A = this chain, B = another copy of it.
């Protein structure tokens, strides 16, 4: 029995793997592999249309929202977004809450003025700043809803009068949210949406109209809208896996239902860790991520032993990000509660052995 706590690419539903596996040898009884069908055929157009419809349905999007599946990952959006909306005369505001936000800020500076409205760098990104103000002359305000590496998550949506933009790569579709408050949402697919190699973009039609002119075609969101995510050959299989994963989420009750399970998973793990002095939880309690639980251990010898024990028990991906060390247990939508029960049992047994 394998328990996959990878931070991304990460676990997807078993039935998605099974159906995708079948489609590689015979897609929808066509006798063709999903990898060899033309993208401009009803075979693939139906896949893409269903994926778009499922996103609109699951996120309860208004009719003024466009849904795109684009090549690349969130790192592509780090520069594509400011390329579309910044210039020497246009300013954007960013919240700096970790590695990914910092990268987004770095790329935006290539295209225009960037104001960092607040940062939690002073405490190693272990909390989410509050009380910041977003300048009203910003073209947009950008933040990261969940910080995969640092294990923080923003449990509220900032109030701003400027267009709200969020990188939701690591918690999209995991909890109910008023997605319509955002002018622009992007997310790499390889956590809760599907397979690596594709990007979800949800954008306000009016916001897109404010974009810069004379952009490279592949960089202009409006060109992608006009071409229905088919400006060029799309990442066919990655979009197909997204469609299957979205179908699974819908069948299992959608975001509301998965949020309940996600809460149970996070509460079980955090409450277990809180009771054990052997482990430390560095993140401010109110800002803990329900998707990526980060914890540490003071004793490096025990740390190695814990990692070895996890490996022995078939637990994959519990080591922290190479930048921060410690442990990280990711709790994405497809991770079953039983996997969290398995690791909390192991944590308890480990603690009992070393209780002194």
Question: A72's contact among B18, B107, B218, by CB below 8 Å, is which?
Answer: B218
Q: Which of A149-157, A201-209, A231-239, A248-256 contacts B (4 or more CB under 8 A)?
A: A231-239
Establish whether residues A196 and B233, one from each chain, have CB atoms under 8 Å apart when the complex forms.
yes
A214 near B: Cβ within 8 Å? Answer: yes
Q: How many copies does the complex hold?
A: 2
Establish whether residues B38 and A6, one from each chain, have CB atoms under 8 Å apart when the complex forms.
yes
Query: How far apart are the CA atoms of A107 and B219 in the complex, in Å?
Result: 11
A73 near B: Cβ within 8 Å? Answer: yes
A94 to chain B, nearest CB (A): 16
Establish whether residues B6 and A33, one from each chain, have CB atoms under 8 Å apart when the complex forms.
no
Nearest CB to that of A1 among chain B residues? B31
Establish whether residues A12 and B33, one from each chain, have CB atoms under 8 Å apart when the complex forms.
yes
Residues of B within 8 A of A32 (CB): 2, 4, 316
Question: A236's contact among B38, B196, B218, by CB below 8 Å, is which?
Answer: B196
Residues of B within 8 A of A103 (CB): 217
Binary interface profile of A, 188-209, with partner B (CB < 8 Å = 1, else 0)? 1010000111100000000000
A42 near B: Cβ within 8 Å? Answer: no
A232 to chain B, nearest CB (A): 4
Establish whether residues B31 and A24, one from each chain, have CB atoms under 8 Å apart when the complex forms.
no
8 further contact pairs, Cβ within 8 A, besides A21-B22, A76-B218, A79-B216: A4-B36, A6-B36, A8-B233, A9-B35, A9-B36, A20-B24, A75-B218, A197-B237
A39 near B: Cβ within 8 Å? Answer: yes
Most buried by B among A18, A107, A233: A233
Residues of B within 8 A of A196 (CB): 35, 39, 233-237
A16-50: which have CB < 8 Å to B? Answer: 17-18, 20-22, 24-25, 30-33, 35-40
A317 near B: Cβ within 8 Å? Answer: yes
Establish whether residues B83 and A76, one from each chain, have CB atoms under 8 Å apart when the complex forms.
no
A59 to chain B, nearest CB (A): 22
A333 near B: Cβ within 8 Å? Answer: no
Query: How far apart are the CA atoms of A217 and B108 in the complex, in Å?
Result: 11
A119 to chain B, nearest CB (A): 20
Question: A12's contact among B20, B22, B31, B35, by CB below 8 Å, is which?
Answer: B35
Known contacts A25-B21, A190-B233; decide if A110 and B216 are in contact (CB<8 Å): yes
Residues of B within 8 A of A83 (CB): 216
Residues of B within 8 A of A9 (CB): 35-39, 233, 236
Known contacts A107-B217, A216-B110, A218-B78; decide if A237 and B236 are in contact (CB<8 Å): no
A74 near B: Cβ within 8 Å? Answer: yes
23 example contacts (A-B, Cβ-Cβ < 8 A) are as follows A2-B30, A2-B31, A6-B37, A9-B36, A9-B37, A9-B236, A10-B36, A12-B33, A17-B35, A20-B35, A21-B22, A32-B316, A40-B322, A71-B71, A71-B76, A72-B72, A75-B218, A78-B217, A79-B218, A83-B216, A195-B237, A197-B235, A197-B237
